[in-house]
Structure 1
Amino acid sequence: MISHTLVHPEILSALASAGHGSTVLVADANYPFRTVVGPNATVVYLNLRPGLVGAEDVLEALVSAVVVESAAVMVPGDGPEPEIFAGFRRLLPGLELTELDRQAFYAASRSDDLALLVATGEQRVFSNVLLTLGVVGA
Structure 2
Amino acid sequence: MLKGIAPCISPELLKVLCEMGHGEEIVLADANFPSESVGQKVVRADGIGAAELLSAILPMFPLDQYDDSNFVLMGVVPGDPVVPEIWNQYDEILKKNEPDAKIKYLERFAYYERAKKAYCVVATGERAQYANIILKKGVIY
**Alignment TM class, shorter chain as reference:** 0.7 to 0.9
Give the aligned residue type for 2:85.
Answer: E
Aligned-pair distance for 1:81?
4.2
Amino acid at match of 1:44: V
Shift of 1:5: 2.2
1:133 is aligned to 137
Q: Do the aligned residues in 2 keep the contact of 1:27 with 1:118 (CA within 8 Å)?
A: yes
Query: What is the TM-score normalised by the length of structure 2?
Result: 0.83
Deviations along 1:43-96, whole A, 9 cap, x unmatched? 11111xxxx311101111111221012100001123454111111111122223
Which residues of 2 match residues 63-78 of structure 1 at below 5 A?
63-69=58-64, 70-78=70-78
In the alignment, what sits opposite 1:4? 4
Distance 1:28 1:14 in 2: 18
- Please provide the CA RMSD for this pair: 1.5
Unaligned runs of 5+ in 1: none
What CA distance in whole angstroms lies between the structure 2 residues aligned with 1:16 and 1:5? 13
Q: Are residue 57 (structure 1) and residue 28 (structure 2) matched?
A: no
Structure 2 gaps of 5+ residues are 65-69
How far apart in 2 are the matches of 1:11 and 1:23? 13
Alpha carbons 1:11, 1:116 under 8 Å: kept: no
Is 1:103 the counterpart of 2:106 in the alignment? Answer: no
Distance 1:80 1:30, change over 3 A: closer
Determine the C-alpha separation between the residues in 2 that align with 1:18 and 1:135: 11
Q: Which residue of 1 aligns with 2:128?
A: 124
Contact 1:74 1:126 in 2 (8 A): yes
How far does residue 33 in structure 1 lie from its aligned partner after superposition? Answer: 1.0
Structure 2 distance, partners of 1:27, 1:80, is 17
Structure 1 residue ranges, 4+ long, deviating more than 4 angstroms after superposition? none
More strand by share: 1
Cα deviation per residue 1:14-33 (whole Å; 9 max; x = unaligned)?
11111000101111000011
Structure 1 residue corresponding to 2:21, chosen from 19, 22, 26? 19
2:38 paired residue number: 36
Q: Are residues 1:45 and 2:44 paired?
A: yes
CA–CA distance in structure 2, aligned partners of residues 89 and 8 of structure 1 = 24
Indicate the percent of aligned positions where both proteins have the same amino acid: 30
